Amino acid sequence: MLLMLAPAVLFFLLFAYVPMAGIVLAFKQFNYDGGVFGSPWNGLDNFKFFFDSGDAWRVTRNTALYNIAFIVVNNVLQIFAAILLFEAAGKWFRKIAQTIMFLPYFISWVVVGAIAYNLFNFDVGTINMLRQGLGMEPVDIYNTSAYWPFILVAVSAWKTLGYGMVMYLAAITGIDTEMYEAAEIDGANIFQRIWKITLPNLMPTVIILVLLAIGNIFRGDFGMFYNMVGNNGLLFASTDVIDTFVFRSLTTSNEIGMSAAAGFYQSVLGFATIMFANYAVRKYDKDRALF
């Protein structure tokens, strides 16, 4: 049995545990000759640089605010769609609608980036063509950071709608039908039924999913931000998240020590929030806790 576990243990040692030791980089002045362990220590300089430049606050704020917006908008839409699909739609419509809404989940972020280009491009993008058709001035979306919070929230909603809806649909299907029958006999109309039975019964699932999402509030979706925004510095004020910042510091500006410091900062922050979230879930419903 231990032998059967060996490959997986080796995998997580190599790709998770040994790199954890590399956290020392956050306290070092990295150079390629010294490598991870031979480079000289520089105390908290990397962190100082990261915090003093103002980047830390900007990317932390962006990461948290985007995730909060995603959690609220996505869950409300998903629940709304799931309830309507369950209560109002006929069998065929339900099938087709679910198939269409689930589709974006299967598409890579690169393709989403291509779609965004199709929509938002200044010269040939669909949005500007529509605006011109209506006699409005074209807007330079890729150079205006103010549009991007709205765009990214919409894209996230678009990509996750079907996925979340299917999950909530499963939870709704699990609600005891006797309650509905009793409500019907009592003369409740369908809206009262949704308000008084479906929603309250859905709440445990919602609370768990939201708490777990809150646990990940400091983890940005790199694929999304990178493919939507890329290295477009004009948009960083409103779109840079911790993950894209760490990536850029590593690959573009080559500030390895500072990048490691930012990554460590994110890991610690993420660990703290997920512990808190798990504690909250455990208090709410012991069986649903992660650990």
Partner 1 sequence: MSSTNVNERRAAARPEAKKRPGSDRILLAAIGYTVLTVLAVFCIFPFLLVVSSSLTAESAIVEKGFQIIPSVFSVEAYSILFRYPADMLKAYGITITVTLIGTALGLFLTAMTAYVLSRRDFKWRNPFSFFFFFTTLFSGGLVPWYLMIVNYLHLKDTLLVLILPMLLNVFYIIVMKSFMSSIPEAIVESAKIDGAGDFLIFIKLILPLSKPALATIGLFIALGYWNDWYHALLFISDSDLMPLQYYLYRLLGNMDGMRKAMMESGAVVSTSLPTESLKMAMTIVATGPILLAYPFIQRYFVQGLTIGAVKG
Residues 99-158, interacting with partner 1 (CB under 8 A): 99-111, 113-115, 117-119, 121, 123-126, 128-129, 158
Please tell me the distance from the alpha carbon of residue 222 to that of residue 150, in angstroms, as a whole number: 17
Q: How far is the CB of 89 from partner 1 (least distance, A)?
A: 6
The position carrying tokens 């890991």 is 267
Q: How far is the CB of 233 from partner 1 (least distance, A)?
A: 15
The single residue among 190, 203, 234, 237 that binds partner 1, judged by CB under 8 A, is 190
Enter the tokens of residue 145. Answer: 């950071």
Positions 31 through 50 that interact with partner 1 (CB under 8 A): 35-36
The single residue among 34, 43, 174, 233 that binds partner 1, judged by CB under 8 A, is 174
Q: How far is the CB of 272 from partner 1 (least distance, A)?
A: 10
Positions 47 through 76 that interact with partner 1 (CB under 8 A): none
Q: Does 203 bind partner 1 (CB under 8 A)?
A: no
The single residue among 167, 179, 210, 213 that binds partner 1, judged by CB under 8 A, is 167
Residue 188 near residue 198 (C-beta atoms within 8 A)? no
Q: How far is the CB of 54 from partner 1 (least distance, A)?
A: 21
Count of Cβ atoms closer than 10 Å to residue 2 Cβ: 6
Please tell me the distance from the alpha carbon of residue 31 to that of residue 208, in angstroms, as a whole number: 45
> 120: alpha, beta or left, given left = phi > 0 and alpha = psi -120 to 50?
alpha
Positions 259 through 278 that interact with partner 1 (CB under 8 A): 259-260, 262-264, 266-267, 270-271, 274-275
Q: Which of 12, 15, 44, 59 is nearest to 261 (CA)?
A: 44
* Binding segment toward partner 1, per CB under 8 A, in 51-59, 60-68, 87-95, 141-149: 87-95
Query: What is the size of the binding site for partner 1 (CB under 8 A)?
Result: 105
* Binding segment toward partner 1, per CB under 8 A, in 16-24, 51-59, 62-70, 141-149: 16-24
Q: How far is the CB of 200 from partner 1 (least distance, A)?
A: 15
Q: Which of 171, 273, 201, 207 is nearest to 71 (CA)?
A: 207
The single residue among 25, 71, 79, 229 that binds partner 1, judged by CB under 8 A, is 25
Q: Which residues contact 97 (CB under 8 A, 6 or more apart)?
A: 85, 89
The single residue among 134, 187, 252, 286 that binds partner 1, judged by CB under 8 A, is 187
The half-sphere exposure of 128 on its side-chain side, counting CA atoms within 13 A, is 15
Q: Which residues contact 79 (CB under 8 A, 6 or more apart)?
A: 168, 202, 206
Positions 213 through 242 that interact with partner 1 (CB under 8 A): 222-223, 227, 230
Enter the tokens of residue 289. Answer: 């806790």
Q: How far is the CB of 144 from partner 1 (least distance, A)?
A: 19
Enter the tokens of residue 37. Answer: 């362990």
The single residue among 65, 69, 73, 77 that binds partner 1, judged by CB under 8 A, is 77
Interhelix angle for 148-173 vs 109-120, to 10°?
130
In the three-class reduction of DSSP (H, G, I as helix; E, B as strand; rest coil), residue 230 is classed as coil
